[in-house]
Every structure is written in structure tokens, then in C-alpha cells.
Structure 1
Amino acid sequence: MPFKAILKELVENSPGSTGAILADWEGEAVEQYCLADTYELKVTAAHQGIIIGQLKEVLAGFPTAGALTHLAIKTENQLFIVGVVGSDYSLVMTMDNDILLARAERCFARTIQLLIKEIY
């Protein structure tokens, strides 16, 4: 299944989602599906990649915590889920602030598994 179709399915199955982007280890967009501004989504992915890298370093000092899988970041106006896709990629999904986070996280986790199968 092509990356764009996987990302489109994620956004469409997560009510309130505004976009999803697969980025490489440098924060560069590999593929995206967006209902809003694509430039803003690309910038968001680049910055979230930096956050993932820093969190991985912090968690390396806490071996009992295990590996980072994903994190949710809530701002005043938006919600982001950022996840690790294998060792070289990340997935970022942007959403409205009032979505059902548990449902979005289930769809997000499924999407990560689909992307891992496609990439590796």
C-alpha cells in the first residue's frame, strides 16, 4: 500500500485530524496527506523530529522505561501525536484540540505498523 494511501486512511479514520506526515531522520517529508496548509505540516514534522531525538537521548538514561513509541503534545489550539517508525522515520499527525485521543492513538499505532511493513 503506498504511503499516501496509508496516511489518508489515518486522517480519515481519526475524526478531527487535519493531517499526517511521514518524515525521515532529518525531518524531511517523505509523504503527507493534509486537509490544511502542507507547508505548516512539513515545518511541524521537522520540529517534532528534533523533539523525538532529544527524548530518545533522555530515555536512554532510563533503561526500565523502554523505547519511545509515541507522544502526544497538546497546545492551546492543536493536538499532535508524534511517533517513531522504525529507527529512521517518524510519523506526525495534527488534530483539532477536542478530539478523542484514545481513538486517534489506536489509529496512529495501526498506521505505524503498516508503515513499518512497507518500509522494512
Structure 2
Amino acid sequence: MSFEIILHDLVEHVPHSVGAILVDWEGEAVMEHCHCDPYEIRFIAAHKGIILARLKEMQSAAQIGEVEDVVVTSSVGHLIIGCIDQDYSLVMNTERRCPVALALYHFRRAIGELKKEM
């Protein structure tokens, strides 16, 4: 299954999703599928590296195991960030009314599919 199909299926199966983007270690977009201006999702994804770096610092200090994914909830939405491998991450943006558990289920399935494609 191609990256494009995986991202399309993720965004289309999650109600109230804004978009999803596959990014490399530098925060550069590899591919995205979104219901917004692609610049918006690319801008969000470029900053995911800062969030992941801080979480990895905390993880190594606390010795709690590797960070797999994280959900950041704001007043307007949810941002889900997940590690595919050392070099690539998946970022998904949803509206606040999106059911987070359902989004995480589909997000984690997409991570699994992307790992197979790498």
C-alpha cells in the first residue's frame, strides 16, 4: 500500500480530521493528505520535532521506555504525533470534536502500515 493511500484512508476514516502528514527527521514533508491548505499541515509538522525532542529528553531521564505517540489537545483540536522509526514520523490534526480514541486507533493502524512500507 502506498503512502498516499495510507494517509488518505487515515484522514477519511477519522471523523472531523483536518489532515495527516508524513515527515522526515528535519520536519520536511514527505507526503500529506488534508482538508486544509497544505501549508498549514506542513507548518504544524515542521514543529513536531521540537515536541518529540522534548519528550525524548524526558523519557531518557525518567527511563520510562520509548515514546511511541502523543496527543496534544488544545481548545480547537487534537494533534497526534507518532514515531514510525528513527527518521520518520506521522502527524495528524483533528478538530476538537473528533473522538480521540477512534483517531488513535486509526492513527496506530496507519503507523503499522507505514512501517511495513519503509
Give TM class, smaller chain: over 0.9
Cα deviation code 1:41-87 (max 9, x no counterpart): 00100101221122112201122x21101111111112111111111
| Alpha-carbon distance, 1:28 to partner | 0.3
TM-score with structure 1 length normalisation? 0.95
Tell me the distance in 1 between the aligned counterparts of 2:75 and 2:101. Answer: 19
For structure 1, the residue ranges without an aligned partner over 5 or more in a row are none
Q: Distance in 2 between matches of 1:73 and 1:20?
A: 15
Aligned residues: 118
How far is the alpha carbon of 1:39 from its aligned partner? 0.1
**Shift in Å, 1:34:** 0.7
- The 2-side partners of 1:36 and 1:88 are apart by 26
Partner-residue secondary structure (3-state), 1:61: helix
Q: Secondary structure at the match of 2:14?
A: coil
Q: Secondary structure at the match of 1:44?
A: helix
Cα distance in 2 for residues equivalent to 1:62 and 1:113: 26
Q: Post-superposition, which runs of at least 4 consecutive aligned residues in structure 1 deviate over 4 A? A: none
**Correspondence for 2:86:** 87
1:88 shift after superposition: 0.8
| Structure 2 gap segments, 5+ residues each | none
| TM-score w.r.t. length of structure 2 | 0.96
Identity of aligned residues (%): 42
Aligned partner letter, 2:84: V
- CA RMSD, aligned part only? 0.8
Counterpart-to-counterpart distance in 2, 1:114 and 1:60: 27
